């Protein structure tokens, strides 16, 4: 295929420093291509190919989420896509199903947390932006859907963020899986213990390396177990290849494991004394490196954190002390030094300065110092002749010491892992697991040792597994799209795996063989490798080395130094060490070296074969690791894998730096580029039909006018390009390598031709526009000249006319002034003459008035003197007459004063009689009140008796067959007749008493009349002395008032007589009744006795003999017994009737869905019946429970039926409103304040009468008094309130469920086929509203109509729509921020159109029903408004945050800005300066505040009201119970 390049093509060119640089083709000559790179340097490429000059992908800020969607899937495209996304903090990117995570090296809390977990839950992979939560969700979803275990393989070099990624996956699995059972109080759950175990494993398994301060020096596979309900039920942690050699040897400036430094710096004084600790720099194992402390890590705090984690996973204080005691032992062993014996070089002796360290180590190990020294400096070999002990040289003793240190630490690490697994607990019945593999990545240093060899072997095995899975998924993609394909060849690394681990003849096998020879050296091992693998293409020998070899791994060539291979591969178990430590006095140390059952069986089986027992038991570390790898791969093969590749962007561990060479090497080591090669081997370019037509449709615009499917249009375009070998799938088009470049070449040529045509027409347009401007300028000049001459002529004429006007006005003004002067002079003369004449006339009038005044005063003075003389004469005559009359009155008064003494005596006697009368009147009033009360009760008793008679007449038919009962009833009737006779006698006695009372009343009347006469006579006698006797007059008035009271008493006595007559009439009716009622007679007898006692005097003794009273008492007992039996029957009848009424009431409540003036008939009828039955005042009642159970059952059955829910929401609110209006809570003293209840039959009757009080009159309903609620009523109110909130929540959640699927489409414009030119012209008015937005509006309208039909209060409708619109805002806004394809200009227009239609619906629906729900959409409205701004790059941060989007946070604006793209109009996002300011602001807020920094919105699930808010005014209910008639069953 020809090179698909043209002049102007944008390509990549290799660069030794930047890996790849952007370049533009400037010249093409056959196979020689000249390009100009982005730095302006011109380069000539000989024999140019697509591999040397790969094409650039179409420009788009922010890159793509999935790199398989790149038009050109090549190495520089992948690299720079990651770089572009990293610059915008998009640290996650997909490559198919692989997630690439780039370490940001600074906190990004807005990407994590529960809000993000909720967003990714139940979402398919690729539906939202790339995220580690999406991988975890995919694993959990496949496990639950396919019932198959899953695994997540996390790899990457040290410092790439593998451990943090595994923590995030664990957090998500704990979020979706939870735990199967609740732990006890204070105890952690399984997932929490797994997460809390990380500090322990990091402390004992992590160390500082050159590249990372917290590098994991072991592999970790965490297996999360799930039960049948997909809840976390257990967990297990497996570890691989702890780097034991780091215990005894470390390179500067690296460190050994963190636990040593934490112990040295974090132990308190007591621990330091117990463990005999020194400063860290005094321990030889630690002083090998100058780095003892790390800037970002506090050793003392790490020690505390490690101990806290130990406590969380269940380690006791004793266990923790034992663990750190073993760590201290390793440190002390490092200070034990052996020297050569001066007498014998084959022996060694302990250095003088090492005795203290040896004794400390022995004491902490629980053994003797002599035994420890002997175990380190000698070896014992068992033979048939006995044990043979041989000394060791100083070098051998040092190796023995280091071997013991490594063994002890390795055993301790294994014990910690076992302890953690035991504490967490494993579920043996679990069949579903999700494994998280956190393992070291491919390593390549300047000097690579045995550890790197093992690590790279593990990565080769994982890469093989990775390649197989990627190839499998590639095939699944082809099968899914139903295309024809052939087998794809890919590079398999099985040959290098055979080279390393084949048995026999593999490198590990040869290494084990060399380790069996005590005198073997690294040079011997290297030479054996050279001899065995010289011809293997994966193996090579470096030219300048005799002990190194080079392997060609999948990630590149790695050279290994064999200097330490033999020593590090040996995993000797020295018998002397084992026997010494197994007998330690400390159980913890002894348990570390306790023989396993398998080892014991092997020893017993080998006793018969061996002639002697070696002091060393050889074990190959390489073989051990190979076996672990085999187990790991077997476990992974049983699961469905998911891959996360962690990338370290720079070697300085700082944010914002992207080293392309470093990242490219990691992509190669991580197998990402290998996955790309597998994809390129088949169909590397794959696009969905819409994107392909959208990009290349301009090659044949006529296709838009044809009625073709998108797949057919793609086929036509490929035929036009004359390409072969492509495949058309169900949703995508698959192109071979280079075919996309050919399509881009045709597109570029087409666009160049179109650009030329546009330029030609543009030049013509510019020339025409210039000619028109010149022509318009000439016409403008001519117009100006002509207008100037015309203005001159006009000005001359105007001036002439103005002069004439001025002359006319001046002459007129002068004539008018002369006329005014003459007129003024004439007026002055006339005024002087008229004034003189008037003054003369006024003088004459004044003289006449003065003369009249003088005459009037003289005449008045004369008459006054005459009047005063006559007045003095009259006064003298009156004085003489009054003096005479006064003397007469004085004589009369003196006579009356002599008679006052006798009058005072009469007054006192009269007062005494008046007091006696008042006492009698009060006694009469009390007797009258008691009589009226008894009569009133008798009336009520008669009414109840009539009701009971009706019921008994109905029950006579049921007891006809009971003759004995009838006879007993007859006997009781006869007894009742007897009682009636005695009652008549009692009534006669009462009548006689009444006649006596009447006589006494008549005497009182006569006495009053006599007193009146006396008062009248006294009043006539005292009429002349009123002034002196005012007090006596007042007393007389008091007597008159008492007389009035006596008159009132007489009138009430008349009423009592009338009531007595009525009682006699009722008695007569009872006598005529065939079956008299003993209970009624008994009540009447008691009432008559009370009446008799009331009318009799206190001094009158009870009549009758003791014998008669005894007979009356026995009759009373028999009557009471019959009364009780009758009451039991009537109580059963009442219960049956009450139950029937309650069932009818429930039927009305549950079936009646009618409304009267917008008020529920069923609810009002129910409340009216409850009031009638006094249910709210009852201490016990079952009607409330029946109502709640019935309604609750309906709600449970109809949780998804909005119509039923809306109806019961109205009923519940109506009942609550009525409850608030007619029922009041109990007062503080209401429970204690009890009226004294009457006893006996009358008490029962009165209570029954009050409980069955008639329905209140309709006219008095408006003034209904509130009743005091008892406990059942208050509980009923609380249950109603709970019902309202529950129904409201169900309604809201149902609406959310209905609109949620549609909202996912409303945020993204539908990918319809591109319209033709005519269609585009017709649609210039704006994007059309899609069916999804129409569906949302229809759902809202249907909900509103349902609320109206069921008469839900407007207050609740407004609250409901407010929460629904808040949910719409949250869903749309979160989708916008999580899906990059939604953050485009065209998509913003689409969403803005939908929001405008939704806003229009709100206005049409009016605020009465919707309220201020539009305010809940402010986030999505402002975000969409920001998307459709054309000049975003010209906006400053202040303008955006204060004017355009004042509600949105900086995190949200940054997210939108970094995800924005525009393929339709070419608009760009905000400027880089604004992005930098946003990023700085986010980092400052993150460091200064601990608040939530999420850019997502949270949906509020709470109910926005309570019972206190549901008043009649708020819910707009005006209920009048009189409008609802009583039901028939009452």
Q: Write out pLDDT tens, residues 1472-1528.
A: 888 888 888 888 877 666 555 677 888 888 887 776 666 555 555 666 666 666 666
Query: Is the pLDDT reported for residue 1140 higher than 80?
Result: no
Catalytic residue from among 163, 213, 405, 522: 163
The yes-or-no answer on residue 1202 being catalytic is no
Q: Look at residue 1251 in the predicted model and tell me its pLDDT.
A: 35
Lowest mean pLDDT across 76-80, 259-263, 1160-1164, 1299-1303: 1160-1164
Q: For the chain, what is the mean pLDDT?
A: 78
Nearest to 501 by CA among 545, 538, 447, 531: 538
- pLDDT, tens digit, for every residue of 480-526? 777 766 655 555 788 889 899 888 889 999 998 888 887 788 889 99
- pLDDT, tens digit, for every residue of 805-852? 999 999 999 999 999 998 899 999 989 988 898 998 888 888 888 888
Highest mean pLDDT among 541-550, 576-585, 902-911, 994-1003: 541-550
User: What confidence category does residue 1040 fall into, taking pLDDT thresholds of 50, 70 and 90?
Assistant: low
48-53: long-range contacts (C-beta < 8 A, 24 or more apart)?
48/3, 48/5, 49/3, 50/3, 50/4, 50/737, 50/738, 50/741, 52/13, 52/14, 53/5, 53/11, 53/12, 53/13, 53/23, 53/25
Q: What is the mean pLDDT of residues 765-779?
A: 92
CA atoms within 13 Å, Cβ hemisphere of 1124: 6
Q: Look at residue 1106 in the predicted model and tell me its pLDDT.
A: 45
Global pTM reads 0.64
User: What confidence category does residue 1231 fall into, taking pLDDT thresholds of 50, 70 and 90?
Assistant: very low
Lowest mean pLDDT across 232-241, 674-683, 1429-1438, 1448-1457: 674-683
- pLDDT, tens digit, for every residue of 419-440? 998 888 888 888 899 999 988 7
Residues 6+ apart with CB under 8 A from 503: 509
Let me know: does 433 contact 226? Beta carbons within 8 Å. yes
Q: Which two tokens stand for residue 424?
A: 């967490």
Q: Look at residue 332 in the predicted model and tell me its pLDDT.
A: 94
Separation of alpha carbons 1473 and 1441, rounded Å: 15
User: Left, alpha or beta for 1405 (phi > 0: left; psi -120 to 50: alpha)?
Assistant: alpha
User: What confidence category does residue 1089 fall into, taking pLDDT thresholds of 50, 70 and 90?
Assistant: very low
Q: What is the mean pLDDT of residues 1144-1166?
A: 79
Q: Look at residue 1034 in the predicted model and tell me its pLDDT.
A: 54
Residue with structure tokens 């990457």? 156
According to DSSP, the β-strands at 206-207 and 150-155 are unpaired
The string of DSSP codes covering 780-806 is: HHHHHHHHHHHHHHHHHHHHHHHHHHH
Separation of alpha carbons 1390 and 1401, rounded Å: 17
Instruction: For the chain, give percent helix, strand, coil, nearest 5.
Output: 65, 10, 25
Lowest mean pLDDT across 85-99, 256-270, 1487-1501: 1487-1501
The yes-or-no answer on residue 191 being catalytic is no
Q: What is the mean pLDDT of residues 565-578?
A: 77
Highest mean pLDDT among 96-110, 434-448, 773-787, 1292-1306: 773-787
Determine the 3-state secondary structure of 736 from DSSP: coil
Q: For residue 535, count other CB atoms closer than 10 A to its CB.
A: 6
Let me know: does 735 contact 726? Beta carbons within 8 Å. yes
Residue with structure tokens 């009742």? 976
The yes-or-no answer on residue 17 being catalytic is no
809-812: long-range contacts (C-beta < 8 A, 24 or more apart)?
none
The yes-or-no answer on residue 1030 being catalytic is no
Nearest to 643 by CA among 1386, 1041, 136: 136
Residues 6+ apart with CB under 8 A from 192: 174, 312
Q: Look at residue 1255 in the predicted model and tell me its pLDDT.
A: 40
Nearest to 500 by CA among 618, 617, 625: 625
Catalytic residue from among 213, 216, 993, 1210: 216
The string of DSSP codes covering 692-714 is: HHHHHGGG-GGGGGS---HHHHH
How far lies 1328's CA from each of 1304, 1305, 1372, 1458, in Å?
18, 15, 19, 28
Give the residues across from 969 on adjacent strands. none
User: What confidence category does residue 1320 fall into, taking pLDDT thresholds of 50, 70 and 90?
Assistant: very low
User: What confidence category does residue 1247 fall into, taking pLDDT thresholds of 50, 70 and 90?
Assistant: very low
Lowest mean pLDDT across 223-237, 240-254, 504-518, 926-940: 926-940
Q: Look at residue 799 in the predicted model and tell me its pLDDT.
A: 92
User: What confidence category does residue 249 fall into, taking pLDDT thresholds of 50, 70 and 90?
Assistant: confident
User: What confidence category does residue 284 fall into, taking pLDDT thresholds of 50, 70 and 90?
Assistant: very high
Q: Look at residue 912 in the predicted model and tell me its pLDDT.
A: 78
Q: What is the mean pLDDT of residues 1054-1059?
A: 55
Q: Look at residue 1020 in the predicted model and tell me its pLDDT.
A: 59
Separation of alpha carbons 858 and 836, rounded Å: 35
- pLDDT, tens digit, for every residue of 722-747? 787 777 888 888 777 667 767 877 88
The yes-or-no answer on residue 197 being catalytic is no
Catalytic residue from among 77, 96, 156, 159: 159
Catalytic residue from among 68, 119, 209, 212: 212
Gyration radius of the chain's alpha carbons: 57
Catalytic residue from among 234, 441, 670, 1411: 441
CA 553-554-559 angle, to 5 degrees, is 25
Nearest to 1459 by CA among 1398, 1377, 1514, 1523: 1377
- pLDDT: is 239 or 327 the higher one? 327
Query: Is the pLDDT reported for residue 1256 higher than 80?
Result: no
Phi and psi angles of residue 387, each rounded to the nearest 5 degrees, phi first: -80, 135
Query: Is the pLDDT reported for residue 854 higher than 50?
Result: yes
Separation of alpha carbons 1523 and 100, rounded Å: 72
Residues 6+ apart with CB under 8 A from 1404: none
The yes-or-no answer on residue 702 being catalytic is no
Q: What is the mean pLDDT of residues 898-902?
A: 68
Q: Which two tokens stand for residue 885?
A: 């009359």
Residue with structure tokens 């090659």? 699
Q: Look at residue 1492 in the predicted model and tell me its pLDDT.
A: 58
Catalytic residue from among 137, 138, 243, 443: 443
According to DSSP, the β-strands at 42-45 and 32-37 are antiparallel
Let me know: does 250 contact 235? Beta carbons within 8 Å. no
How far lies 182's CA from each of 173, 189, 209, 310, 1287, in Å?
17, 8, 41, 21, 30
Q: Look at residue 768 in the predicted model and tell me its pLDDT.
A: 93
Phi and psi angles of residue 540, each rounded to the nearest 5 degrees, phi first: -150, 160
Nearest to 230 by CA among 433, 72, 427: 433
Quick one: CA dihedral 1287, 1289, 1290, 1296, positive or negative?
A: positive
Let me know: does 993 contact 1092? Beta carbons within 8 Å. yes
Q: Look at residue 262 in the predicted model and tell me its pLDDT.
A: 93
- pLDDT, tens digit, for every residue of 973-1011? 666 667 666 666 666 666 666 666 667 667 666 766 676
Catalytic residue from among 71, 74, 103, 158: 158
Q: Which two tokens stand for residue 797?
A: 């004429």
Nearest to 207 by CA among 257, 274, 242: 257
Q: Which strand (E) or helix (H) includes residue 470?
A: helix 450-481
Residue with structure tokens 């899906």? 1379
Q: What is the mean pLDDT of residues 248-258?
A: 88
Q: Look at residue 699 in the predicted model and tell me its pLDDT.
A: 82
- 3-state SS, 620-649, equals EHHHHHHHHHHHHHHHHHCCEEEEEEEECC
Q: In the chain, pLDDT over 90 holds for what percent of residues?
A: 16
């Amino acid at each position: 295929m020809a090179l698909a390049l043209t002049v102007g093509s944008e390509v990549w060119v290799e660069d030794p420093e930047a890996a790849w640089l952007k370049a533009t083709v400037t010249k093409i000559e056959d196979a020689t291509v000249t390009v100009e790179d982005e730095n302006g340097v011109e380069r000539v490429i000989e024999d140019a190919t697509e591999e040397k000059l790969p094409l650039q992908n179409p420009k788009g800020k922010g890159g793509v989420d999935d790199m398989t969607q790149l038009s050109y899937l090549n190495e520089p495209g992948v690299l720079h896509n990651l770089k572009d996304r990293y610059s915008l903090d998009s640290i996650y990117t997909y490559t198919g199903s692989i997630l690439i995570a780039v370490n940001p090296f600074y906190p990004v809390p807005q990407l994590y947390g529960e809000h993000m977990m909720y967003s990714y839950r139940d979402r398919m992979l690729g539906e939202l932006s790339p995220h580690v939560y999406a991988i975890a969700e995919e694993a959990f979803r496949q496990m639950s859907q396919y019932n198959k275990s899953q695994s997540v393989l996390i790899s990457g070099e040290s410092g790439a963020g593998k451990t943090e990624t595994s923590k995030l996956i664990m957090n998500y699995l704990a979020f979706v899986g939870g735990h199967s059972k609740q732990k006890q109080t204070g105890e952690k759950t399984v997932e929490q213990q797994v997460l809390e175990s990380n500090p322990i494993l990091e402390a004992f398994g992590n160390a500082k390396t050159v590249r990372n301060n917290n590098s994991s020096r072991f592999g970790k596979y965490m297996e999360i177990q799930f039960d049948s309900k997909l809840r976390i039920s257990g967990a297990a942690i497996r570890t691989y290849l702890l780097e034991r050699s780091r215990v005894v040897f470390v390179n500067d400036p690296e460190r050994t494991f963190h636990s040593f430094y934490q112990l040295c710096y974090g132990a308190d004084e007591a621990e330091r004394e117990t463990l005999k600790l020194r400063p860290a720099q005094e321990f030889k194992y630690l002083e090998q490196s100058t780095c003892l402390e790390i800037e970002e890590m506090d050793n003392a705090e790490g020690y505390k954190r490690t101990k806290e984690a130990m406590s969380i996973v269940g380690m006791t204080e004793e266990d923790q002390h034992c663990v750190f005691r073993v760590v201290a032992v390793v440190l002390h062993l490092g200070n034990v030094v052996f020297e050569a014996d001066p007498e014998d070089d084959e022996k060694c002796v302990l250095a003088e300065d090492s005795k203290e360290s040896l004794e400390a180590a022995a004491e902490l190990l629980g053994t003797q110092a002599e035994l420890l020294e002997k175990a380190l400096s000698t070896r014992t070999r068992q033979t048939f002749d006995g044990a043979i002990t041989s000394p060791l040289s100083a070098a051998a003793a040092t190796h023995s010491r280091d071997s013991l240190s490594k063994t002890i630490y390795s055993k301790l690490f294994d014990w910690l892992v076992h302890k953690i697994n035991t504490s967490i607990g494993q579920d043996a019945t679990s069949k579903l697991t999700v494994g998280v593999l956190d393992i070291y990545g491919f390593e390549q240093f300047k000097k690579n040792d045995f550890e790197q060899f093992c690590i790279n072997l593990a990565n080769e095995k994982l890469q093989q597994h990775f390649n197989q899975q990627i190839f499998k998924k590639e095939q699944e993609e082809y099968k899914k799209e139903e295309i024809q394909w052939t087998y794809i060849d890919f590079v398999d690394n099985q040959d290098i795996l055979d080279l390393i681990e084949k048995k026999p003849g593999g490198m590990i096998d040869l290494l084990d063989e060399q380790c069996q020879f005590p005198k073997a050296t690294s040079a011997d091992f290297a030479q054996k490798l050279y001899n065995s693998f010289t011809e293997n293409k994966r193996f090579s020998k470096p030219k300048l080395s005799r002990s190194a070899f080079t392997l060609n791994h999948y990630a590149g060539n790695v050279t290994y130094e064999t200097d330490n291979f033999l020593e590090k591969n040996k995993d000797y178990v020295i018998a002397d060490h084992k026997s010494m430590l197994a007998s330690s006095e400390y159980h913890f140390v002894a348990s570390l070296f306790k023989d396993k059952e398998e080892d014991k069986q092997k020893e017993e089986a080998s006793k018969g074969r061996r002639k002697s027992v070696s002091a060393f038991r050889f074990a190959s570390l390489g073989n051990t690791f190979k076996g672990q790898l085999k187990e790991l791969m077997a476990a992974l093969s049983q699961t469905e894998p998911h891959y996360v590749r962690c990338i370290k962007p720079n070697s300085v561990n700082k944010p914002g730096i992207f080293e392309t060479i470093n990242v490219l090497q990691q992509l190669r080591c991580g197998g990402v580029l290998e996955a790309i090669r597998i994809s390129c081997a088949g169909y590397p370019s794959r696009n969905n039909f819409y994107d392909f037509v959208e990009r290349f449709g301009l090659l044949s615009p006529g296709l838009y006018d044809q009625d073709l499917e998108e797949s057919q249009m793609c086929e036509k375009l490929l035929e036009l390009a004359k390409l072969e070998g492509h495949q058309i799938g169900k949703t995508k088009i698959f192109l071979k390598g280079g075919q996309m470049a050919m399509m881009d070449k045709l597109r570029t040529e087409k666009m160049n031709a179109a650009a030329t045509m546009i330029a030609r027409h543009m030049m013509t347009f510019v020339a025409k526009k210039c000619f028109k401007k010149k022509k318009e300028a000439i016409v403008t000049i001519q117009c100006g000249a002509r207008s100037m001459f015309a203005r001159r002529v006009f000005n001359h004429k105007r001036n002439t006319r103005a002069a004439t006007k001025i002359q006319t006005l001046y002459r007129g003004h002068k004539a008018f002034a002369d006329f005014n002067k003459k007129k003024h002079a004439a007026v002055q003369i006339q005024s002087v003459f008229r004034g003189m004449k008037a003054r003369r006339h006024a003088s004459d009038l004044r003289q006449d008035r003065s003369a009249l005044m003088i005459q009037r005063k003289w005449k008045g003075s004369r008459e006054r003197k005459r009047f005063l003389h006559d007045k003095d004469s009259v006064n003298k005559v009156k004085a003489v007459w009054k003096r005479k009359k006064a003397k007469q009155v004085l004589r009369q008064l003196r006579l009356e004063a002599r008679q006052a003494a006798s009058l005072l005596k009469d007054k006192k006697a009269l007062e005494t009689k008046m007091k006696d009368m008042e006492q009698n009147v009060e006694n009469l009033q009390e007797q009258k009140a008691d009589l009226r009360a008894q009569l009133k009760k008798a009336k009520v008793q008669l009414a109840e008796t009539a009701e009971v008679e009706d019921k008994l007449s109905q029950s006579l038919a049921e007891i006809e067959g009971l003759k004995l009962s009838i006879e007993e009833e007859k006997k009781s009737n006869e007894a009742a007749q007897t009682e009636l006779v005695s009652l008549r006698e009692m009534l006669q006695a009462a009548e006689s008493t009444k006649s006596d009372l009447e006589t006494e009343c008549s005497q009182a009347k006569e006495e009053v009349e006599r007193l009146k006469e006396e008062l009248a006579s006294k009043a006539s006698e005292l009429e002349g002395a009123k002034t002196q006797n005012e007090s006596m007059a007042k007393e007389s008035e008091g007597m008159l008032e008492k007389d009035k009271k006596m008159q009132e008493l007489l009138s009430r006595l008349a009423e009592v007589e009338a009531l007595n007559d009525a009682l006699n009439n009722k008695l007569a009716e009872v006598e005529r009744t065939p079956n008299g009622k003993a209970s009624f007679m008994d009540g009447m007898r008691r009432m008559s006795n009370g009446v008799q006692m009331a009318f009799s005097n206190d001094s009158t003794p009870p009549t009758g003999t003791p014998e008669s009273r005894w007979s009356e008492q026995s009759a009373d007992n028999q009557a009471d017994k019959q009364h009780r039996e009758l009451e039991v029957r009537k109580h059963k009848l009442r219960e049956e009737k009450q139950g029937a009424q309650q069932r009818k009431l429930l039927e009305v409540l549950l079936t009646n869905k009618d409304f009267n003036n917008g008020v529920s008939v069923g609810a009002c009828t129910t409340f009216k019946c409850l009031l009638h039955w006094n249910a709210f005042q009852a201490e016990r009642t079952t009607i409330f429970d029946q109502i709640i159970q019935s309604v609750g059952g309906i709600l449970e059955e109809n949780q998804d039926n909005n119509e039923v829910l809306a109806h019961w929401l109205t009923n519940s609110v109506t009942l609550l409103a009525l409850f608030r209006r007619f029922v009041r809570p109990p007062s503080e003293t209401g429970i204690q304040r009890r009226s004294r209840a009457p006893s006996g039959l009358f008490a029962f009757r009165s209570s029954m009468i009050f409980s069955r009080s008639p329905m209140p009159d309709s006219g008095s309903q408006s003034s209904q008094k509130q009743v005091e609620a008892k406990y059942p009523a208050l509980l009923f109110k609380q249950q109603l309130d709970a019902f309202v909130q529950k129904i409201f929540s169900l309604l809201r959640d149902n609406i959310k469920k209905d609109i949620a699927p549609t909202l996912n489409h409303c945020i993204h414009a539908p990918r319809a086929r591109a319209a033709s030119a005519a269609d585009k012209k017709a649609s210039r008015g704006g994007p059309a509203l899609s069916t999804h937005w129409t569906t949302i509006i229809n759902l809202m309208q249907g909900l509103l109509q349902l609320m109206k039909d069921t008469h839900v209060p407007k207050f609740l409708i407004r609250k409901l729509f407010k929460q629904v619109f808040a949910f719409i805002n949250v869903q749309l806004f979160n989708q916008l921020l999580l899906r990059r394809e939604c953050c485009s200009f065209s998509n913003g227009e689409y969403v803005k159109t939908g929001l405008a239609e939704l806003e229009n619906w709100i206005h049409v629906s009016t605020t009465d029903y919707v309220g201020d729900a539009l305010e809940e959409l402010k986030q999505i409205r402002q975000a969409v408004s920001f998307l459709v701004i054309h000049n975003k790059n010209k906006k400053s941060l202040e303008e955006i945050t204060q004017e355009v989007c004042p509600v949105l946070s900086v995190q949200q604006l940054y997210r939108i800005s970094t995800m924005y793209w525009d393929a339709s109009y070419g608009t760009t996002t905000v400027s880089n300066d604004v992005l930098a300011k946003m990023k700085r602001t986010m980092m400052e807020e993150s460091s200064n505040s601990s608040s939530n920094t999420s850019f997502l919105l949270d949906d509020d699930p709470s109910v926005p009201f309570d019972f206190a808010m549901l008043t009649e005014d708020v819910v707009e209910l005006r209920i009048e119970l009189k409008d609802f008639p009583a039901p028939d069953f009452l």
